[in-house]
Structure 1
Amino acid sequence: MSQISPVQVQKYLSGIDYPCNRDGLVAAAENNGADAEVLHALEALPDRTFDGPSAVSQAIF
């Protein structure tokens, strides 16, 4: 299994409107064609609202 990067995650979250909750992040990534590793990382996030890309990156990495 390869390791994902913050840039890779943000690529799949492009166009998302913040604040956004975990389910919204996962749905946006799926719609943008994210691979299983990125989806798994997003699904593992805490169930809360994220106020921007940096908050998502901090929670994952």
Structure 2
Amino acid sequence: MRETPIEATQKYVHGLTWPVNKDEVIRTLERNGAPEDVLEVIRAMDKPRFTGPNEVHNALWKGA
């Protein structure tokens, strides 16, 4: 069974304590096995901090 976008986001951000800076989001995504295309979306964002997992989810899945 395929993961839903919400399940994937939860897996990728597991272990973060919010709010968190972008560099920590990227490190956590890498550690939790996020694919390169997911990492690139976050790297390309002009956003230094994230206040919660919904911000990451919206960045990754808008238009999906």
Q: TM-score, normalised by structure 2?
A: 0.69
The answer to whether the aligner puts 1:28 opposite 2:25 as a matched pair is no
Count of aligned pairs between the two proteins? 57
Structure 1 unaligned runs (5+)? Answer: none
Identify the residue that residue 43 of structure 1 maps to in structure 2: 43
Give 2:46's aligned amino acid: P
21 and 40 in structure 1: CA distance in 2 versus 1, 3 angstrom threshold: same
* Percentage identity across paired residues of the two chains: 33
User: Of the two, which has the highest radius of gyration?
Assistant: 2
CA distance in 2, matches of 1:10, 1:45: 19
> What root-mean-square deviation, in Å, do the aligned CA atoms of Structure 1 and Structure 2 show?
1.7
Q: TM-score, normalised by structure 1?
A: 0.71
Structure 2 unaligned runs (5+)? Answer: none
- Once the 2 structures are TM-superposed, how far is the Cα of residue 40 of structure 1 from its aligned partner? 0.9
Identify the residue that residue 57 of structure 1 maps to in structure 2: 57
